[in-house]
Amino acid sequence: MNQDATTLWHGRFELGPAEALQALNDSLPFDRRMFRDDIAGSRAHVRMLTDVGLLTSEELAEVLAALDQVEAEIATDEMVWEPTDEDIHTAVERRVTELAPAGAKMHTGRSRNDQVATDVRLITRRELSDTIALVLRFQKVLLAKADEAIANDWYLPGYTHMQRAQPVMLGHHFMAHAWALARDIDRLAQALVRTDVSVLGAGALAGSSLPLDPAASAGYLGFAKVFDNSLDAVADRDFVADALFGLSMLGVHLSRIGEELILWATEEFGFVGLDDAFSTGSSMMPQKKNPDIAELARGKAGRLIGHLTGFLVSMKGLPLTYNKDMQEDKEPLFDAFDTVRLTLLALDGMVSTLVINSDVMAEAANSPYGAATDLAEWLVTKGTPFRDAHGIVGELVRRALGGEATLAELVSASEHLGPEAARILEPGAAVRRRTTWGSGGPDPVVAQRDRLTAQIESDTARLVELDSARLAAESKP
């Protein structure tokens, strides 16, 4: 039993906390990361307290100066942490009060329950914005690869069931991943909107008997909205789950990109070569060049999904309002942001330095069987019902695979098809026949490229808009 310890609740307790309780209970090791948010929240709170007459302007100046100093001490690692600093809120308040007597008024009308919810919202809002910016950056890498592929007319087989299906332009393939990321941006932006709600003024759970002004606190922090219900305000961590889902879905997309790069870099596929700086070697086998970044992108998705499911399980049984279980929100959330950031940065480098083996891709795509659907569609243009056309071409494919003759020879000799149709089997011909909206042929891919560019531009503008109130609040002294 640690009898010397001064807790925030020492008035009610005869004895201090047991060491085992402290070790389990303390969140400082991981919530220290929110110190700037905690201090920003306190600044907003004391300004509001001054607005409503609960602090004098002298007391406000004193507390703000102390908050500045504490922020500097933590930022420069000069802060001396005490064993009783159970979390960042306790530590900041303790130090502010040491520096300024008026610090004892800082917690007026506030609980750690509305305080921690505020801090987690502030850090989530910022990290979501940073993540969106990184996703936009990676989209531009994919767009640049698409441009390189478009300029060179590169194409490859598209796959279903991991079987060669129909040839498509390589730019089409790169942009497919970028469109998935556009949905991630939308999800993360929506999570940001639901995060952007101020809960300061909800108190422990029931609000306050003091004349608090939650809208004023919200304004100081640049939050878009104010809570409607104090119980919900301190009990709600939906925004954490939203962020974790958005990050998991993004992680799943990065994992699928990773899986493809792993396949493409195999000797069996040989579609791409990896840059030395973004691949690893083997300690034993001198010939190896390994796609570790892509494998980690695939592996990290498991960790992200684990954070989401673990957090939802922590929340699912909790009655209103705050319960200490909710302290479990931070580690998965912070780790998810860190994991996604590292993965995106590494994939950025890996994809931008990919060497495209366009001849290998073209050779794989030029297999005449990849044009079988186009042959059937050619018959359709001559009036044959598609089901019959499918049967006619299917039979020729079966005979060609059986070794009777090449598919081109059989097509040329066919009473239904003939030499004009056989030209569809020439290298690079089939992919040019893809002309419909959003399809994988050269012209629609160029049109799609413009839409993707516009999407990236509008998402960039949306992020500026989402960030504007936050940045304005952060830049005020």
Helix (H, G, I), strand (E, B) or coil at 442: helix
| Nearest residue to 340 (alpha-carbon basis) of 145, 123, 29, 128 | 128
Q: How far, in Å, CA of 330 to CA of 311, rounded?
A: 9
Interface residue with ligand ARG, options 239, 322, 334, 378 (CB under 6 A): 322
Q: How far, in Å, CA of 361 to CA of 366, rounded?
A: 9
Stretch that binds ligand ARG, among 109-117, 128-136, 374-382, 436-444 (CB under 6 A): 109-117
Based on CB atoms, which residue is closest to ligand ARG, 45 or 298?
45
Helix (H, G, I), strand (E, B) or coil at 82: coil
- Is the sign of the CA dihedral 175, 181, 187, 189 positive or negative? negative
Catalytic member of 107, 111, 161, 314: 161
Instruction: Judge whether 282 counts as a catalytic residue.
Output: yes
Report, in Å, the least distance between residue 31 CB and ligand ARG.
6
190 and 242 in contact (C-beta within 8 Å)? Answer: yes
Interface residue with ligand ARG, options 7, 22, 69, 327 (CB under 6 A): 327
Based on CB atoms, which residue is closest to ligand ARG, 322 or 334?
322
Based on CB atoms, which residue is closest to ligand ARG, 121 or 177?
121
Residue 113 touching ligand ARG (CB under 6 A): yes
Residue 94 touching ligand ARG (CB under 6 A): no
What is the torsion angle, in degrees rounded to the nearest 10, for the CA atoms of residue 47, residue 51, residue 56 and residue 57?
A: 60
Stretch that binds ligand ARG, among 40-48, 169-177, 324-332, 395-403 (CB under 6 A): 324-332
Based on CB atoms, which residue is closest to ligand ARG, 113 or 230?
113
Q: How many residues bind ligand ARG (CB under 6 A)?
A: 10
Looking at residues 25 to 54 of the shown chain, list those that interact with ligand ARG (rule: CB under 6 A): 27, 31
Based on CB atoms, which residue is closest to ligand ARG, 313 or 454?
313
Stretch that binds ligand ARG, among 249-257, 312-320, 321-329, 371-379 (CB under 6 A): 321-329
Catalytic member of 42, 198, 253, 282: 282
Report, in Å, the least distance between residue 330 CB and ligand ARG.
6
Q: What token pair was written down for 51?
A: 């607005």
Report, in Å, the least distance between residue 30 CB and ligand ARG.
9
- Is the sign of the CA dihedral 100, 101, 102, 104 positive or negative? positive
Report, in Å, the least distance between residue 322 CB and ligand ARG.
6
DSSP for 382-440? TT--HHHHHHHHHHHHHHHHTTSS-HHHHHHH-SSS-HHHHGGGSTTHHHHT--STT-S
Report, in Å, the least distance between residue 458 CB and ligand ARG.
37
Based on CB atoms, which residue is closest to ligand ARG, 8 or 252?
8
Cis omega (within 30 of 0) for bond into 339: no
Residue type, 229: N
Residue 87 touching ligand ARG (CB under 6 A): yes
* List of residues 6+ apart from 360 with CB closer than 8 A: 269, 270, 271
Looking at residues 8 to 27 of the shown chain, list those that interact with ligand ARG (rule: CB under 6 A): 27
Report, in Å, the least distance between residue 472 CB and ligand ARG.
28
Residue 353 backbone phi and psi in degrees, to 5: -100, 5
DSSP for 13-60? -SS---HHHHHHH--HHHHGGGHHHHHHHHHHHHHHHHHTTSS-HHHH
Report, in Å, the least distance between residue 366 CB and ligand ARG.
60
Q: How far, in Å, CA of 327 to CA of 337, rounded?
A: 17
Report, in Å, the least distance between residue 64 CB and ligand ARG.
23
Based on CB atoms, which residue is closest to ligand ARG, 280 or 327?
327
What does the angle CA 448 – CA 450 – CA 454 come to, to the nearest 5 degrees? Answer: 115
Q: How far, in Å, CA of 257 to CA of 142, rounded?
A: 11
Residue 116 touching ligand ARG (CB under 6 A): yes
Residue 85 touching ligand ARG (CB under 6 A): no
Looking at residues 351 to 410 of the shown chain, list those that interact with ligand ARG (rule: CB under 6 A): none
Residue 326 touching ligand ARG (CB under 6 A): yes
Give the pairing of strands 197-198 and 225-226. Answer: parallel
Q: How far, in Å, CA of 25 to CA of 2, rounded?
A: 14
Based on CB atoms, which residue is closest to ligand ARG, 41 or 368?
41
Q: How many other CB atoms are found less than 10 A from the CB of residue 401?
A: 10
Residues near ligand ARG (CB under 6 A) are 27, 31, 87, 112-113, 116, 322, 324, 326-327
Would you please indicate which residues are annotated as catalytic (active-site) residues?
161, 282
